[in-house]
């Protein structure tokens, strides 16, 4: 018997990219949202503390289900086992914007103008 799949969900949230792991992902009855349930976080190591994973653990502590807007989703992968949850801050040099057009950076000036 195979074990329940784990999904890696990467999404945009307030100028940060979140990478989380969950056991259940499905389209919500609430139009335009994906639901994530049963979040999976790695076991804490006595030697190394990952501040990104700790931030996510605290943010999702006590959360039964999270509704993520579809336009915030970057990617969803079914993986063999969970990895390390991460938070990455988006820098001004990154070419990422939420759809439709929110938080878009202005084009860089060219030497022709």
Specify the pLDDT at position 27.
Answer: 92
Establish whether the linkage from the previous residue to 64 is cis, with ω within 30° of 0: no
Specify the pLDDT at position 50.
Answer: 67
Specify the pLDDT at position 100.
Answer: 57
Instruction: Please provide the DSSP assignment of 71-86 as one string.
Output: GGEEEEEEESS----E
Q: Which segments of the chain have a pLDDT < 70? A: 1-2, 42-53, 92-113
- Residue 38's Cα: distance from chain center in Å? 14
What is the pTM assigned to this prediction?
Answer: 0.68
String of b and e for 15-32 (b: at least 16 CB within 10 Å)? eebbbbbbeebeeeeeee
Specify the pLDDT at position 103.
Answer: 47
């Amino acid at each position: 018997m195979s074990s329940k799949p784990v999904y890696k969900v990467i999404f945009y949230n307030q100028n940060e990219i979140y990478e989380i792991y969950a056991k259940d992902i499905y389209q919500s009855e609430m139009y335009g949202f994906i639901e994530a349930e049963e979040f999976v976080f790695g076991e804490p190591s006595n030697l190394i503390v990952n501040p990104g994973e700790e931030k996510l653990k605290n943010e999702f502590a006590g959360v039964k289900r999270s509704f993520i807007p579809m336009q915030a989703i970057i990617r969803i992968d079914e993986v063999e086992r969970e990895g390390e949850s991460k938070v990455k801050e988006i820098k001004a040099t990154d070419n990422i914007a939420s759809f439709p057009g929110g938080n878009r950076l202005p084009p860089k000036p060219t030497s022709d103008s």
